[in-house]
Structure 1
Amino acid sequence: MSGPVDGAGSGPVDGARAGEPVGPGGRRSGLRNPEKAVRGLGAGTLALEALVLLLAIQPIRVVGGHLSTAAIGAIVALAVVCVVLAGQMKRSWAWPAGTVVQGLLMLSGLLHWSLLVLGVIFALVWAYALHVRRVILG
């Protein structure tokens, strides 16, 4: 056998090819296109949020009590913003804008308590997506 068995010294870092993103600990992510994968994660998260927001209107009205016109308007507006942002994940401003959307959803909790609950849940999901983005892209 020639060369080390564990792959040490076989490439720039643990066998990573030149130009490939290297994750924490010097290991590459293993994804063919990490940027595209991360954009898909962000877009999927925002699309799911838009869907949940729109589907939540009726159950909130039935179970949670009176849902004002302003609250319904805020839900629809935030869902539209989520869909638009999902399509703009290639832009450098899209990730910070997604964070702002999570804050606005929590702030809409002033209109109805259930919107605060949804805001906290999706803020946690968005925080996880940001964590995954940081781990994969470095």
Structure 2
Amino acid sequence: MHIKPITAQYDAHIRTIIEAVGAEFGAVGDGFGPSDREVQAMSQHYCIEQGSQYFIAVEHGQIMGGGGIKPFLNSAKTCELCKVFLLPAARGKGAGKKLTQTCLDFARQAGYTQCYLDTLSEMTSAIRLYEHLGFKHRDTPMPGVIHTGCDVWMELTL
């Protein structure tokens, strides 16, 4: 599995993956990441100059998923791990761990000191991965969260 920054040529592929995996777990409509406008062209919404980056996981030339880091509410110190979605064929192979670790490495290099994420309780494998990487559960979402459909909130000191 190869992890690399997204480029415009992969926008349609990752949009399809985000929407399909979101639907698989019931993350459809307002309040869920797959309905965010940025999903239409991820490469245009994540750029190093703005403290963000979206990565894709590629296996044998095929995109298997992606995940990104962006500032949380324009914070210089807190980022958000967002839109980590993998096709079923990529799960259980270490792709999620490699992708998430790449995102966290980018966050540290960008100078963030805290990382926040929100997800769904149905995404049990992802939650176990985040716990393994050191994320701690929060009782409530961080103020200003737009993904009101999520019911699991976590944070990590970087």
TM-score for the superposition, normalised by structure 2 = 0.29
Higher helix share: 1
TM-score for the superposition, normalised by structure 1 = 0.31
Of structures 1 and 2, the one scoring higher in RCO (CA 8 A, sep 6+) is 1
State which structure, 1 or 2, has the greater radius of gyration over its C-alpha atoms: 1
